Chains A and B, each alone.
Chain A
Amino acid sequence: EIVLTQSPGTLSLSPGERATLSCRASQSVTITYLAWYQQKPGQAPRLLIYDTSSRATGIPDRFSGSGSGTDFTLTISRLEPEDFAVYYCQQYDSSPLTFGGGTKVEIK
């Protein structure tokens, strides 16, 4: 099983600031099979990024993904009020499909 560790657990930032979220895998994720999701309280998660860096339909370009091997990053270039939420990474290189523990982006 590939274990994903997200850091930091909580990120306290102000609107307009840049957010950098990390996802580290316990073994190499081949073929960039990594996705990112956003979850707001009381809602289902929403797909943001797939294949490490491809934005899902309707996702604004302030969200970007990068990385390879064991280290992956989600960047939000300028935080909007609606971006404060919990973010999860997910690997789909091997079964079982696994998620990281999440990073909460909160308003400072």
Chain B
Amino acid sequence: QVQLQESGPGLVKPSETLSLTCTVSGYSISSGYYWGWIRQPPGKGLEWIGSMYHNESPYYTPFLKSRVTISVDTPKNQFSLKLSSVTAADTAVYYCVRVHPSRFKPRYFDYWGQGTLVTVSS
């Protein structure tokens, strides 16, 4: 059974860097899937942040590309998200996801973490 679990601070100050880690169990992170992050501001819809295969360059949404870094730690079976220079607009529930590939690109999201609320506030 594939399981994903987000961890990290629930409160980040404006202008600082948001850092989250996703721990994967039940599946090897280097075994053929992409891994990524999606966020959902309170009461709003879903926004894809980016996806990464363990030994390839990541895909990012252009709207956050200048501030986002996704990386994979294969020995720990974890992947992480860093979002720099945060503002209140970055307040959201952040989900880590397994991303099903097709034709060598990330496609749809078949497993989700439970989500973690990150609030940006001083």
Please give, as numbers and ranges, the residues of chain B lying within 8 Å of A95 by CB-CB distance.
Answer: 59, 61, 105
A residues in contact with B62, CB < 8 Å: 1, 96
| Residue B14 is within 8 A (CB to CB) of chain A in the complex | no
A88–B100 CB distance below 8 A: no
CA gap between A95 and B105 in the complex, in Å: 9
State in angstroms the CA–CA spacing of A56 and B109 once bound together: 11
User: C-beta contact mask, A11-48 vs B, less than 8 Å → 1, else 0?
Assistant: 00000000000000000000001010100000111110
Closest 10 pairs (CB-CB, A-B): A44-B112, A92-B107, A35-B108, A96-B61, A97-B48, A99-B46, A50-B108, A101-B45, A47-B110, A44-B115
Chain A residues whose C-beta falls within 8 Å of the C-beta of B59 in the assembled complex: 95
Interface size for chain A: under 10, 10 to 19, 20 to 34, or 35 or more residues?
Answer: 20 to 34
Name the one of A47, A56, A99 contacting B45, with C-beta atoms under 8 angstroms. A99
Q: Which residues of A contact B (CB under 8 A)?
A: 1, 33, 35, 37, 43-47, 50, 56, 88, 90, 92, 95-102
B48, B106, B113, B115: the one within 8 Å of A99 (CB): B48
What class of interface size applies to chain B in its complex with A? 20 to 34
Q: Is B104 an interface residue (CB 8 A)?
A: no
Instruction: Show 21 residue pairs from A and B whose CB-CB distance is below 8 angstroms, ordered by the A residue.
Output: A33-B107, A37-B109, A44-B112, A44-B115, A45-B46, A45-B95, A45-B112, A47-B109, A50-B100, A50-B108, A50-B110, A92-B105, A92-B106, A92-B107, A95-B61, A96-B61, A96-B62, A97-B61, A99-B47, A101-B45, A102-B45
Q: Mark B96-108, 1 if CB is under 8 A from A, else 0.
A: 0000101001111
Q: Could you say which residues of chain A place their CB within 8 Å of the CB of B109?
A: 35, 37, 45, 47, 90
- A44-B113, A44-B114, A44-B115 known; A96+B108 contact, CB < 8 A: no
Least CB separation from A101: chain B residue? B45
Residues of B near A90 (CB, < 8 A) are 46, 108-109
**Could you say which residues of chain B place their CB within 8 Å of the CB of A37?**
46, 109
A50: which B residues are within 8 A, CB to CB? 100, 107-108, 110
Distance to closest chain B CB from A102 (angstroms): 5
